[in-house]
A and B are shown apart, each in its own frame.
Chain A
């Protein structure tokens, strides 16, 4: 503090230059930071001039692994809260079947929570979406996206991920798939409700249950986009770990966490393409009249018999 007066005078002119060169620097530096800048002035100005980023490129479409990991974290936490509220609703029903809860009615309205009793279809839908969000959006996307992105560059001594752009795409595909998954909660027939494993033919036949209509289509689209996101992320993690370790960081010296991330990513790359093709085949079967998962003639027979059911059997719920 004592030498600050002279240093302020000294750097007065340079401060002006600094301000001209660095127009976007909004706050005036305090005396202590001024001293630091005084020492490494030229470098600093150049550095800032090259890397000055707008809000959008710094926090929204960022290619910085730290920001992306935070984006993953926040999105996954939001999804986890949604999934937790769902589990509260269906576990209330499970613990006190037939009991009337104002909370259920407040959350689901008269269509699915009439008099505060959960509708059986909505029960299955909540279980399904809760499972989907927990398994994919929290445990796969949230944990791997957050911690792999944050820790891989830090712990292997890399400057950033191998491809910042792919990393950014990975997050935004994840975001889009989250939005589509959440949007499926607000459609007329309700979200997908065949259990998070989405076994066909229950998921392939729109007639099988209300949750196999538009909700299932949205689920499949969301999941296809999610898998793209996960693959982009996994490939990035693998390349970074293999290619971008700092000097002396041999594979055998890597921390256990990095080994765990690497194996997770490899397993993801091995398993998700299979899921992707399955989701794609189901989308084609449901929306474009192909018959890869259910043979068409069987579908026709099932449609026929369900129709027969509705006509002749009163104890079935499939038609109502």
Chain B
């Protein structure tokens, strides 16, 4: 098979070479030089440019339509709505510029196609034109940057909410551990020198504040409508905590603590009833059925978004968003099972 493909490629190259030779030879017979192009050829090429534009734009719109339902579901956090707004504004702006510039590109290639009777016009300088193509993009870019900065400052402002829920995400090759403060609502101190098999996140054993901390793996719960403050640490290399459905991402850098705050607006159950999500999951499950795999339900995900080693692709954790009452129940259960285990 490989040999056949290789043979086909070699034959293609030889055929191309022969074709070029035929053109060379026929040119010798016709006594024309390669730079002498007839007006008929120019017209053909000019029209071909226009046809190319039509096909190209049709392909573009088909692509947009075809893959539209593969993008992320609507934002499930308060600030995520702003991120989506910014994203949409940028995409519409870029699409508009893309369509306009490409239309002119092909239209001018057609309009100013080679013509043996036309004379070239020499333009040394045009202030108006230069001002136009400098000022318009400058205003557009200023708009993009100012709004981006405004939202960035709002999203990254330190949290001053009273009843925020603190969750520490601890990253290592290749999994996540979430740590909740216990009754005192304060996370215990950590010390990397105390990391060992029974103390995987390096809790400082001399710190009493950490005695009631709750560690969970595989999935962690957060309440809806409450501000969540994530504190991120890493044991080994740089990881990145990425929560795509909440439009949240922050690097986890060894040796420092990074922060991100957000407020979830939809529970997992609500999200599973969202029409977009239902359609998206139907598509995913149809593909899974083809591969003889079990169907899956929608779940919020925490992913690693920075290359961290061989199993980087599989470094993830489920996130369950539920009502505050359900969350407190779950946390109490976890705290109880911890005391049982330690007794």
Residues A311 and B197 in contact, CB atoms below 8 Å apart: yes
**Closest Cβ–Cβ distance, residue B199 to chain A (whole Å):** 10
In whole angstroms, what is the CA distance A317 to B236 when docked? 14
Determine whether A106 belongs to the interface, using a CB cutoff of 8 Å to chain B.
yes
Within 8 A of B (CB), among A180-215: 193-195, 199, 201-202, 205, 208-210
Which residue of chain A has the shortest Cβ distance to B6 in the bound complex?
A106
Residues A305 and B236 in contact, CB atoms below 8 Å apart: yes
Residues A202 and B174 in contact, CB atoms below 8 Å apart: no
Q: Which residues of A contact B175 (CB under 8 A)?
A: 315-316
Q: Which residues of A contact B312 (CB under 8 A)?
A: 124
Using a Cβ cutoff of 8 Å, how many contacts connect chains A and B?
79
Residues A103 and B2 in contact, CB atoms below 8 Å apart: yes
Per-residue A-contact encoding for B182-202, CB less than 8 Å = 1, 0 else: 000000000011011100000
In whole angstroms, what is the CA distance A195 to B197 when docked? 30
Q: Which residues of B contact A317 (CB under 8 A)?
A: 173-174, 309-311
Residues B173 and A194 in contact, CB atoms below 8 Å apart: no
Within 8 A of B (CB), among A273-308: 298, 301-302, 304-306, 308
User: When A298-B255, A301-B193 are in contact, do A120 and B311 touch as well, CB less than 8 Å?
Assistant: yes
**Closest Cβ–Cβ distance, residue B202 to chain A (whole Å):** 8
Residues A120 and B310 in contact, CB atoms below 8 Å apart: yes
User: When A124-B310, A317-B174 are in contact, do A202 and B2 touch as well, CB less than 8 Å?
Assistant: no
Q: Which residues of A contact B310 (CB under 8 A)?
A: 120-121, 124, 209-210, 317-318
Determine whether B221 belongs to the interface, using a CB cutoff of 8 Å to chain A.
no
Q: Which residues of B contact A124 (CB under 8 A)?
A: 307, 309-310, 312
Q: Which residues of A contact B192 (CB under 8 A)?
A: 298, 301, 305
Residues A208 and B309 in contact, CB atoms below 8 Å apart: yes
Residues A202 and B309 in contact, CB atoms below 8 Å apart: yes
Within 8 A of A (CB), among B165-189: 172-175
Residues A316 and B174 in contact, CB atoms below 8 Å apart: yes
Q: Which residues of A contact B5 (CB under 8 A)?
A: 103
**Which size bracket describes the interface of B in this complex?**
20 to 34
Q: Which residues of A contact B193 (CB under 8 A)?
A: 301
Q: Which residues of B contact A311 (CB under 8 A)?
A: 197
**Closest Cβ–Cβ distance, residue A267 to chain B (whole Å):** 18
Determine whether A29 belongs to the interface, using a CB cutoff of 8 Å to chain B.
no
Determine whether A55 belongs to the interface, using a CB cutoff of 8 Å to chain B.
no
In whole angstroms, what is the CA distance A180 to B236 when docked? 29
Within 8 A of A (CB), among B135-192: 172-175, 192
* Contact with B235, one of A193, A205, A305 (Cβ below 8 angstroms): A305
In whole angstroms, what is the CA distance A194 to B197 when docked? 27
* Contact with A205, one of B197, B237, B307, B313 (Cβ below 8 angstroms): B237
User: When A124-B310, A305-B235 are in contact, do A312 and B197 touch as well, CB less than 8 Å?
Assistant: yes
In whole angstroms, what is the CA distance A120 to B196 when docked? 28
The 9 closest A-B pairs by CB, nearest first: A312-B197, A195-B307, A202-B237, A209-B309, A317-B311, A120-B310, A121-B310, A305-B195, A317-B310
- Which residues of A are at the interface with B, using a C-beta cutoff of 8 A? 102-103, 106, 120-121, 124, 127-128, 193-195, 199, 201-202, 205, 208-210, 298, 301-302, 304-306, 308-309, 311-313, 315-318
Identify 23 residue pairs between A and B in the complex whose beta-carbon atoms are under 8 Å apart, listed by A's number.
A106-B2, A120-B310, A124-B310, A124-B312, A199-B238, A201-B236, A201-B238, A202-B237, A202-B307, A209-B310, A298-B192, A298-B254, A298-B255, A301-B195, A305-B236, A309-B172, A311-B197, A313-B197, A316-B174, A317-B310, A317-B311, A318-B173, A318-B174
